[in-house]
Amino acid sequence: MQTIKAAVCHAFGAPLQIEQIQLRGPHQGEVEVTLGAVAICHSDISYAEGAWGGSLPAVYGHEAAGVVSKVGDAVRGLAEGDSVVVTLIRACGTCGNCAGGKPTLCETPYDGDHGPIKTSDGGKLHQAMATGGFAEKVVVDQNQVVRISPDIPKDAASLIACGVITGVGAVVNAARLRAGQDVVVIGAGGVGLNAIQGARIAGARRIVAVDMSTEKLETAKEFGATDGVLATGDKPWKAAIAAMGGRGADAVIVTVGAIPAYDRAPRYLGYGGRVVMVGMPHSGAESTYEPVILAAVGQGMVGSKMGDVVIQRDIPWMVDLYTQGRLKLDELISGRWSLDEINEAIADTKSGAARRNVIVFDR
């Protein structure tokens, strides 16, 4: 066991504690990654606040990039020194969903209470979301990482691990948007901006961003939105439909966990359109809609976890788009913080102004 520094959650809603923890070496099929950067996702914040329960104490953080520093037995295609993106998608490769090309829905459970980390005195420490990325190093399954060029900055690369694949994938994989179609993206935060980018890349005709902030709507246009609609207005779906020439959207991507956003989402749809549910409300929260309307005009609603991606297929594609200048990553970063500043970075993220705050380990 080696000792590393990590941000540990001991009580839901309490500040994270910077402390030394123990990290074992990689077992068969695992790799150790020394992190260069880990971004702060709203899912980390929701977990740390107790929105979805979970085991404590825990190390959160799941949107990371770094360099492979050790490899376990039977690891293939990865070697020490490789630059990688680290994701939370721990796919067994053999269950029905994995074999069917849906690794984000892997049915094989992972017990984070018995993962590679322990407290400084050897006690239980939960590796949250199979990653535990708010730490100097992680040990993860080889299937959770994708090798990238060492020329890609680690802070930009970390964003691909969750926010980028979730937003772009929701449009390309879940909505299956085709060139010339119209899309509404509800929420212009980190995931929403990537859904907008995904729609632009897919060739959407009109991309309408809906948000409660005029500043965020202007930012959305920088990422490819053709129109912006304030969610605080009276019946905002009417303004969105007008922007699309009087017809509803082919796809509505809900990237926020606010129940009012889910209640309103079907109103933006056109005939045969689909709501793609990405944002994660707190457990127990419920939404309402009129099913007769969906049935009458062939509309649908579907959940999308992590953009329905296959990381070994989709991440190299997105990295290539970035190197071509067709996918914005650097522009998504609002601030760079040290691990010791993580609570300040979380507070800044919760303020709603940040696109993505990133913890970097070379400060």
> CA 169: distance to chain centroid?
10
Q: Is residue 187 part of a domain?
A: yes
Would the pLDDT of 124 be above 90?
yes
Report the SS3 class of residue 129.
helix
Number of CB atoms found within 10 A of residue 223's CB: 24
pLDDT band at 352 (very low <50, low <70, confident <90, very high): confident
Is 260 in contact with 267 (CB distance < 8 Å)?
no
Claim to verify: residue 176 and residue 298 sit in the same structural domain: yes
DSSP 25: P
Does residue 315 lie within any of the structural domains? no
Same domain for 86 and 184? no
Same-domain check for residues 127 and 170: no
Instruction: Tell me: do 144 and 12 sit in the same domain.
Output: yes
Number of domains the chain is built from: 2
User: What would the pLDDT profile of 313-336 be if each residue is shown by its tens digit?
Assistant: 999 999 999 999 999 999 999 999
What are the structure tokens assigned to 282, written together? 């707190």
277 within a domain of the structure (yes/no): yes
pLDDT of residue 26: 98
Q: 9 and 102 in one domain? A: yes
Question: Is residue 115 helix, strand or coil?
Answer: coil
Do 123 and 258 sit in the same domain of this protein?
A: no
Tell me which of 305, 321, 337 is where a domain ends: 305
Residues 261 and 337 in one domain: no
Pick the closest to residue 127 from 141, 107, 137, 112 (CA basis).
112
Q: Catalogue the E-assigned strands of 72-144.
A: 83-86, 117-119, 126-127, 137-141
Please indicate, yes or no, if residue 67 is contained in any of the structural domains: yes
Is 85 within a domain? Answer: yes
- What was the pLDDT predicted at 104? 96
Say what the pLDDT of residue 363 is.
58
pLDDT at 228 over 80: yes
CA distance 311 to 285: 30
CATH number at residue 215: 3.40.50.720
Same domain, 287 and 351: no
- 131 and 196, same domain (yes or no): no
User: What digits encode the pLDDT tens for the residues 178-196?
Assistant: 999 999 999 999 999 999 9
Is 312 domain-assigned?
no
User: What ranges in 139-213 are assigned the alpha helix state H?
Assistant: 154-159, 165-169, 190-202
177 and 277 assigned to the same domain: yes
Does 353 lie in the same domain as 239? no
CA dihedral sign, ordered 46, 51, 56, 62: negative
Residue 267 lies in a domain: yes
pLDDT, one tens digit per residue, over 61-110 is 999 999 999 999 999 999 999 999 999 999 999 999 999 999 999 999 99
Structure-token match 């948000």, residue found: 211
Write down the mean pLDDT value for the chain: 96
pLDDT at 18: 98
Confidence check: pLDDT of 176 > 70: yes
User: Can the peptide bond before residue 57 be classed as cis, meaning omega within 30 degrees of 0?
Assistant: yes
- In a domain? residue 101: yes
pLDDT digits (tens, 9 = 90+) for 8-57: 999 999 999 999 999 999 999 999 999 999 999 999 999 999 999 999 99
Domain housing 240: 166-305
Q: What CATH number does the domain containing 11 carry? A: 3.90.180.10
Considering the domain architecture, whether residues 141 and 172 belong to the same structural domain is answered as no
C-alpha dist (Å) from residue 169 to 80, 166, 251, 290, 325: 29, 5, 13, 27, 18
Share of the chain above pLDDT 90, in %: 96
Q: Which residue has the tokens 């535990």?
A: 132
